Amino acid sequence: MQPEVVGSVESGILASTWSPDDSLVALITGDDKIIIMTSTFDIVSEGLLHPDHFGEDAPINVGWGSKQTQFHGSLGKAAAQEKRPDVIGSSPDDDGLPRVSWRGDGAFFTVSALSAVHDGVRNRVIRVYSHTGALQSTSENAPGLEHVLSWRPSGNWIVSTQRYGFEGGGIGREGRHDIVLFERNGLRRGDFSLEKVTSGHARDLTSELQWGYRVRELGWSSDSNILSVWIERASGDIVQLWTIGNYHWYLKHEIPAPFTGGQPERFTSVHWHPEDPLRIMLTTPTLLIQRSYTWQTFTSHNKPPIDSGFVAVLDGASILLTPFRTQNVPPPMSSHSLTVPDRSTHYDFRTKPLPPVHVSFLSSKDVMFSLWESGHYEVTNLRTRLGPGKGKVMDPVTECFDPKQDSEEWVHKQALAYGLDAEQSVALLQSNGERDRITFTTLTGKDVEPRQDVDMPGLNGRLVQGDSHLAWQSPNGEIFHVDDSREKIFNGKFEQFCPEAVHVPITSSPESPSVYIGLSPTGKLFIANQSSTRSLASNVNSFTVASGFLVYTTTAHMAQFAPLDALLSLLTTPNDSSFLPEWETRRVERGSRIVTAVPSTMSLVLQMPRGNLETINPRPFVMNIVRQDIDSGEFAKAFAACRRHRVDLNVFLEHKRDIFLKSIPQFLDQVSDVDYINLFLTSVGQGPLSSDIVAELCDAMRVELEKRDPEKYVSSILTTHVVKRPSDHEAGLLLLLRLRKTEPQIVEDAVKYMIFLVDANGLFDTALGMYDFSLVLMIAQHAQKDPREYLPFLRELRALDEHYQKFRIDDHLKRYEKALRHLADAGAARFDEAISYVESHQLYDCALGIWKETPQYETVLGIYGDWLFERREFKDAAFVFRQAAKPSKAMLAYEKALDWQEVFEIAVQEGLSEEDLSEAGYRIAEDLSAKKRYQDSARVFLDYVKDPRAAVVTLVQGNFFSEARRVIALHARSELLEEIVYPGALDSRAQIVEEIGEMKEQLRKQVQRLRELRVKKLEEPDSFYGVEDTDLHNVDVMTDVSMAPTMFTRYTQAPSTVASRTSKRSSRSKRKMERKVGSGRKGTIDEEEYLLKSVAKLVGRFTITQNDAHNILPHLFQFTQEHKVEAVELQEEIANFEKELSDAVEEIWKKPTEIDGEDQTADSWALRMQEHDKRQAVDPMEKVTKPDVTKRVWNSKLSSLR
Q: pLDDT tens, 256-272?
A: 888 776 677 799 999 99
What is the C-alpha separation between 70 and 83, in angstroms, rounded?
A: 17
Q: Is the separation of the CB atoms in 838 and 866 below 8 Å?
A: no
Same domain for 139 and 30, yes or no, is: yes
Q: How confident is the model at residue 1193 (pLDDT cuts 50, 70, 90)?
A: low
DSSP assignment letter at 978: I
Q: Which of 293-307, 409-423, 590-604 has the lowest mean pLDDT?
A: 409-423
Last residue of a domain, one of 369, 387, 405: 387
Residue type, 1106: Q
Of 1108, 1083, 1090, the C-alpha closest to 993 is 1108
Q: How many domains does the chain have?
A: 5
863 contacts 838 by C-beta, under 8 angstroms = yes
Domain boundary among 367, 387, 407: 387
448 in any annotated domain: no
Residue 932 has pLDDT above 70, yes or no: yes
Residue 485 near residue 467, CB atoms below 8 Å: no
In this structure, what DSSP letter does residue 45 have?
E
Between 499-513, 732-746, 1076-1090, 1157-1171, the lowest mean confidence (pLDDT) is in 1157-1171
Q: Specify if 649 maps to a domain.
A: no
My answer on whether omega of the bond before 274 falls inside 30° of 0, hence cis, is no
> Under 8 Å CB-to-CB from 713, ≥6 apart: which residues?
674, 677, 705, 706
**CA 250/CA 236 separation, integer angstroms:** 22
- Give me the DSSP letters along 105-133: TSSEEEEEEEPPPBTTB--EEEEEEETTS
Burial class (CB in 10 A: 0-12, 13-18, 19+), 892: middle
Whole-structure pTM value: 0.72
Long-range (24+ apart) CB contacts under 8 A made by 835-839 are 835/859, 835/860, 835/863, 838/863, 839/863, 839/867
What pLDDT score was predicted for residue 1052?
34
- Torsion, Cα 588 592 597 601, to 10 degrees, reads -50
pLDDT at 1074: 52
Tell me how far apart the alpha carbons of residues 326 and 636 are, in angstroms, rounded to a whole number.
21
Residue 120 belongs to a domain with what CATH number? 2.130.10.10
Residues 286, 331 within the same domain: no
The pLDDT of residue 288: 92
Q: What is the mean pLDDT of residues 1112-1132?
A: 87
Asked if 1088 contacts 1013 with a C-beta cutoff of 8 angstroms, the reply is yes
Average pLDDT over residues 1112-1141: 88
Instruction: Evaluate whether residue 586 is within a structural domain.
Output: no
Q: Is the pLDDT of residue 319 over 70?
A: yes
Q: 255 and 365 in one domain? A: no
Q: Do residues 280 and 335 share a domain? A: no
Same domain assignment for residues 1126 and 1192: yes
Q: How far is CA 630 from CA 547, 641, 699, in A?
A: 15, 11, 21
- Specify the range with the lowest mean pLDDT, choosing from 259-263, 713-717, 780-784, 1080-1084: 1080-1084
Say whether pLDDT at 206 is over 60.
no
Q: Does residue 403 register a pLDDT over 70?
A: no
Instruction: Work out the number of other CB atoms within 10 angstroms of the CB of residue 787.
Output: 11
pLDDT at residue 1061, rounded to an integer:
40
What gap in Å lies between CA 750 and CA 1136, rounded to an integer? 91
848 plus 820 within the same structural domain: yes
In a domain, 1066, yes or no: no
Report whether 425 contacts 369 (CB < 8 A): no
Residue 233: what are its φ and ψ, rounded to 5°?
Answer: -125, 160
Which has the minimum average pLDDT: 307-311, 561-565, 874-878, 1175-1179?
A: 1175-1179
Domain's final residue, options 342, 369, 387? 387
Query: 43-57, 535-549, 561-575: which range is least confident on average?
Result: 561-575
Check pLDDT > 90 for residue 452: no
What is the 3-state composition of the chain as percent helix, strand, coil, each rounded to the nearest 5? 40, 25, 40
Residue 1172 and residue 1105 share a domain:
yes
User: What are the residues whose beta carbons fall under 8 Å from the beta carbon of 1000, sequence distance 6 or more?
Assistant: 1137, 1140
Torsion angles phi and psi, residue 213, rounded to 5 = -160, 165
Do residues 88 and 232 both lie within one domain? no
User: Tens of pLDDT along 979-1005?
Assistant: 898 898 889 889 989 999 999 999 999
Under the banding of pLDDT at 50, 70 and 90, the label for residue 585 is very high
- Reported as a pLDDT band with limits 50, 70 and 90, residue 798 is confident
Domain membership of residue 19 (yes or no) is yes
**95 in a domain, yes or no?**
yes
Residue 841 zone, left/alpha/beta (φ > 0; ψ -120 to 50; rest): alpha
Three-class SS state of 742: helix
pLDDT value for 399: 79
Mean pLDDT (the chain, rounded): 84
275 in the same domain as 380 = no
Domain assignment present for residue 284? The answer is: yes
495 vs 533: CA distance, rounded Å: 8
| Strands (DSSP E) found in 868-969 | none
The separation between the first and the last C-alpha atoms of the chain, rounded to the nearest angstrom, is 119
- Torsion, CA 1062, CA 1064, CA 1070, CA 1076, rounded to 10: -30
**Whats the size of the chain, residue-wise?**
1202
Range of the domain at 993: 974-1021+1076-1150+1167-1202
Q: How confident is the model at residue 364 (pLDDT cuts 50, 70, 90)?
A: confident
Can you list the positions of beta strands (E) in 394-532? 397-401, 411-418, 424-431, 436-444, 447-455, 462-464, 471-473, 478-482, 488-493, 500-505, 514-519, 525-528
The verdict on 289 and 301 lying in the same domain is no
Q: Is residue 832 part of a domain?
A: yes
Q: Answer yes or no: do 15 and 161 share one domain.
A: yes
Q: Nearest 5 degrees, angle CA 981-CA 983-CA 989? A: 100
Looking at residue 212, its amino acid is G
| Mean pLDDT in residue range 261-287 | 89
Mean pLDDT on 341-356: 71
Distances (CA, A) of 473 to 454, 540, 1125: 14, 20, 100
pLDDT of residue 1048: 35
251 and 309 inside one domain? no
Radius of gyration of the chain (CA): 49
Q: Where are the beta strands (DSSP E) in 1082-1141?
A: none
